Structure 1
Amino acid sequence: MKKSLLAACVAALLLSQVGMAATQINSEKHAIKVEKVTDGLAHPWGMTFLPDGRLLVTERSGNLRYVGLDGKVSQPIQGVPKVRAYGQGGLLDVQIDPEFRHNQTIYLSFSEPSENGKDSSTAVASATLGEDKLTNVKVIFSANPKIDSAYHFGSRLIFDRQGNLFVTLGDRGSRRDDAQTLDTHLGKVVRIQTDGSVPADNPYIDKGYAMPEVWSFGHRNLQGAALNPVTGELWTHEHGPQGGDEINIARAGKNYGWPVITYGEEYGGGKIGSTVKDGLEQPLYYWVPSIAPSGMTFYTGNSFSHWQGNLLVGSLKFSQLVRLELEGEKVSHEERLDIGQRVRDVEQGPDGAIYLLTDQPNGELLRLSPAK
């Protein structure tokens, strides 16, 4: 009898804890239940769903883990390339191959140290995923040049419909012309094949003055990217300096202006360039003041029926999920949902729910679903 009473008390306690873990927020279109799937993640940065329903999650310190939707977090998967985890650098994004079910291949972006250990650049490695170890690890791209900077690694990984891999790259905090010149990878979106070779239709292939991997340029620090499900084009967002965060459609050979044009300003005040110049692309949308965007996805699921086709963007600065309604290539409405934690990545799950990674020493995986 005592054991039955104890079991009942334990069950009641667990149910109360689950209830406490779930909160509700109200959007303009849906009432939303926010549940904590798990915590204890050390500055998680990127995530991707596996066919078995689990997630692969990166921690900036260099750990790659499986995370189940039951909250179970694995030990670190062995075989991750060496990273230089400092400042904004470390183990960053993760993506699975379009043919993952057949080849078990994944891709990781990370801050790759130079031989002297002081300099670094954003790199991408492919690997075969095992249950507790990576094998066949190969660096397929390494941004040039490596420099001594702890800032602006960019680093989202997105596949296009042809199976080529887009890699977003920050300017590494440089205020020189690096984002404007084509002989470096700084401040660029690059496009490569899965073995690191250059697609034949890249805009600067066989141009001696340009890096052949370059797809678009004039970017500052791109930490969000998603493929438009209707058009197949790459949409990106990037951090501006004290305002001027931008959403762009990254098109081949286009110049997005940084640091010649921006809607941001110097930290502490002061003008940077101008806002308009012939030949430079205007942002599709921008924020002043800065929201510090990170993570982005188009919502295509059925759970939030009134959100279909919306663009969802995480905000680090304001601890929000930003929902943007679109009319073609224009933002027609913005709504901000308070999450209470810095949102680092945003993904749609196979169940139609929205999953968020929060950026903190004790980072969490949150699940957003319709409230009953």
Structure 2
Amino acid sequence: METVIEGLEHPWGLAFLPGGGMLVTERTGDLRLIRDGALAEEPVSGVPEVLALSQGGLLDIALPPDFETSSLVYLSFASGTAQSNNTALYRARYEDGALLDGGVIWTSQMNKTGGAHFGGRIAFMDDGTLLLTLGDGFEFREEAQNLENHFGTIVRLNPDGSPASGNPLAGEDGALSDIWTYGHRNVQGIAIDPATGIVWAHEHGPRGGDELNIIEGGNNYGWPIVTAGLDYSGARISPFTEHGQDYTAPLREWLPDSIAPSGLAVYRGEAFPNWNGDLLIGALAGQALHRVRVENGQAIAEEILLADEGARIRDVRVGPDGLVYVLTDHANGAVLRLSPAD
């Protein structure tokens, strides 16, 4: 493990630029450029104004598959005020350290209070559409079963922010046409395996009950009707801990303690050949990087890495070089790089 750069303020998401360099979001509201091992002195201009409150702020960043020709950048962020806020999606053109011609292309129908559970991870699918994860707003968990709003959902959008065609819930009475899946608590990790097309996601449980799921359009993942986690008071949230046929069961649950998962990558590369197809998951409360062994679409084993660093891991990505990059969630956060030992 080596430190690529330090001095980032609560970094949240990372994207690799063609030809080298990285763009890193800071939850407090800045987008930073790292090139040739150095942090650009000035933040990238043209970033939208964000609500930097508690868990809210500038969240994820993603480059579409056609970035080399389009130069488009997508940012998710918390928008609004402490009394009324949403998760929003911003699109702009990146050029020479600036975002140009930017605008908000999608805003969630949540209008929640407080600064918790925004979700915010972005993943592009092979068909050019994108998935955006959302949270249940913490105090609004019952709404995660209501298809008339975006609480506790994953949405599937066209590149311009409009609902993608073929969303399986669009025909249901009252359902928002951009919802892809629902019944989630707070999804802060999503990744698509480029080799299999499987969409993986994890979500925060309350006290225990973090989940690792395979995401399939139209499915209900159960929150808060069924959960293995406890409320913060120690009381049961629901009498149901088994998902049954109406709710998609997780492949992995973390019990009795939550690791608070954030960031997710499917490893495909040459640097760590024994890791191919495995999942890399950051842990905030667990202060570690978890490697989940995957075989035939099943999570069969788990290895805990970086536990001796004492760092909250916010994001994890596989670089173009096949090495693993992680963001530490601290006021003096860092980009760390993992490479094979000699």
Calculate the TM-score normalised by the size of structure 1.
Answer: 0.88
Q: Does residue 357 in structure 1 map to residue 327 in structure 2? A: yes
Q: Which residue of 2 aligns with 1:275?
A: 241
Q: Which runs of 5+ in 1 are unaligned?
A: 1-33
Q: Which residue of 2 aligns with 1:302?
A: 270
Q: Does residue 228 in structure 1 map to residue 193 in structure 2? A: yes
* SS in structure 2 of the partner of residue 370 of structure 1: coil
Q: 2:210 aligns with which of 231, 245, 260?
A: 245
Q: 1:161 aligns with which of 94, 117, 126?
A: 126
Q: Does residue 254 in structure 1 map to residue 219 in structure 2? A: yes
Q: 1:341 aligns with which of 287, 311, 318?
A: 311
One-letter amino acid matched to 2:273: S
Q: Which residue of 2 aligns with 1:10?
A: none
How far 1:69 moved relative to its partner?
A: 4.9
How far 1:208 moved relative to its partner?
A: 4.1
Separation in structure 2 between the aligned mates of residue 351 and residue 235 of structure 1, nearest angstrom: 22
Alignment of 1:113-124 (within 5 A): 113=80, 118-124=83-89
* SS in structure 2 of the partner of residue 306 of structure 1: helix
How far 1:175 moved relative to its partner?
A: 4.4
- Cα deviations across residues 253-286 of structure 1 (Å, max 9, x unaligned)? 1000000011100113111111124401111111
* SS in structure 2 of the partner of residue 94 of structure 1: strand
Q: 1:173 aligns with which of 138, 142, 146?
A: 138
Aligned 8 A contact 1:284 1:329 in 2: no
Q: CA RMSD in A?
A: 1.3
- Cα deviations across residues 192-229 of structure 1 (Å, max 9, x unaligned)? 00111112111122444101010000000000010022
Aligned 8 A contact 1:37 1:69 in 2: no
Aligned 8 A contact 1:243 1:287 in 2: yes
How far 1:313 moved relative to its partner?
A: 0.5
Q: Does residue 109 in structure 1 map to residue 79 in structure 2? A: no
* SS in structure 2 of the partner of residue 248 of structure 1: strand
One-letter amino acid matched to 1:285: R
Calculate the TM-score normalised by the size of structure 2.
Answer: 0.96
Give the count of matched residue pairs.
Answer: 337
Separation in structure 2 between the aligned mates of residue 236 and residue 42 of structure 1, nearest angstrom: 25
Percent of counterpart pairs with the same letter? Answer: 44
One-letter amino acid matched to 1:154: G
Which structure has the larger Rg?
1
Q: Does residue 139 in structure 1 map to residue 104 in structure 2? A: yes
How far 1:231 moved relative to its partner?
A: 2.5
Separation in structure 2 between the aligned mates of residue 207 and residue 241 of structure 1, nearest angstrom: 30
Residues 221 and 69 of structure 1: CA distance in aligned 2, closer, same or farther (over 3 Å):
farther
Separation in structure 2 between the aligned mates of residue 78 and residue 275 of structure 1, nearest angstrom: 47
How far 1:247 moved relative to its partner?
A: 0.6
Aligned 8 A contact 1:157 1:167 in 2: yes
Q: Which runs of 5+ in 2 are unaligned?
A: none
Q: 2:15 aligns with which of 25, 39, 48?
A: 48
Separation in structure 2 between the aligned mates of residue 124 and residue 69 of structure 1, nearest angstrom: 29
* SS in structure 2 of the partner of residue 275 of structure 1: coil
